[in-house]
Amino acid sequence: MSIVRLYRDVTAEDGTRRFEYREAWCEPGSGQFTVHHGRVGAVGTVGDQPVADDAEGEELLAAFVAQGREEGFAELDDDALTTLSVTYRLRGRASTPIEAQHADALRSEITHQLAWRGLGDVEDVAEEEGRLVLIVRTPHAAKAEAEIPAAAKRAHGVQPNKVEVHRGDLRPADASAHGAADAEADADVVDAAAETREA
């Protein structure tokens, strides 16, 4: 599926920040072009448009990007994103098939909670001794951290008190796609069982 995510970060005349997102996608064979937009951290508005074929969908995606750039939106550079590591504590040193299923449910719920708010998604899952690590890349770390506890509570079979959120990439060095810089970031922990705090 082709998907494009654009962001615009502006300051209004009254000094308030307005961080907005727009994204669009066209799943091959679906006959549908979808646009989703809103303020980062809030559930956005979704609109669908029928397309005759996948080629028309790609044309609409190109037009979507062009219009967004005219209005000040752009794709974010990698260094504009923050890495969060969501750890899921295991019973033993290695995950069981049931725990792997629970991790899949957690990944799905976190992606759902974040993506529909313009806050990124889960990009990778790695296993370490005694825990699984879900890697999130987000344009707004504080707001993403605040949303993850709700996702943990909804994930089937997951015990929220086994889920923690850390700043930085906690995967083993050979599994990290973003190098040591993220690994050295502060490991501020947010207990996923706690109440969602203010962003």
Q: Is residue 199 part of a domain?
A: no
183 pLDDT more than 50: no
- Read off the pLDDT of each residue in 101-105 and give the average, rounded to a whole number: 97
**Mean pLDDT, the chain, integer:** 89
Asked if 58 and 107 sit in the same domain, the reply is no
91 pLDDT more than 70: yes
Q: Which of 17, 38, 70 is the last residue of a domain?
A: 70
Instruction: Put the strands of the sheet holding 163-167 in their side by side order.
Output: 121-128, 131-138, 82-89, 163-167, 190-191
Asked if 91 and 159 sit in the same domain, the reply is yes
Query: How many independent structural domains does the chain possess?
Result: 2
Q: Is residue 171 part of a domain?
A: yes
Note the helical H segments in the chain. 54-70, 97-115, 141-154, 179-183
88 pLDDT more than 70: yes
Query: pLDDT-derived band of residue 174, with 50, 70 and 90 as boundaries?
Result: low
The span from the first CA to the last CA of the chain, in angstroms, equals: 31
Asked if 54 and 6 sit in the same domain, the reply is yes
Neighbours of 69 (CB within 10 A): 12
| Residue found by looking up tokens 């615009």 in the block | 8
Domain assignment of residue 125, given as a range: 78-191
Asked if 64 and 115 sit in the same domain, the reply is no
Asked if 53 and 84 sit in the same domain, the reply is no
Rounded Cα distance between 138 and 84, Å, is: 8
Q: Is residue 117 part of a domain?
A: yes
pLDDT digits (tens, 9 = 90+) for 36-57: 999 999 999 999 999 999 999 9
Q: Is residue 197 part of a domain?
A: no
Asked if 117 and 147 sit in the same domain, the reply is yes
Q: Is residue 196 part of a domain?
A: no
| Residue found by looking up tokens 């005694």 in the block | 130
Helices (runs of H) and strands (runs of E) counted in the chain: 4, 9
185 pLDDT more than 60: no
DSSP for 34-48, written as a single string: EEEEEETTS--EEEE
Q: Which of 29, 44, 70 is the last residue of a domain?
A: 70
The helix (H) or strand (E) run that includes residue 190 is strand 190-191
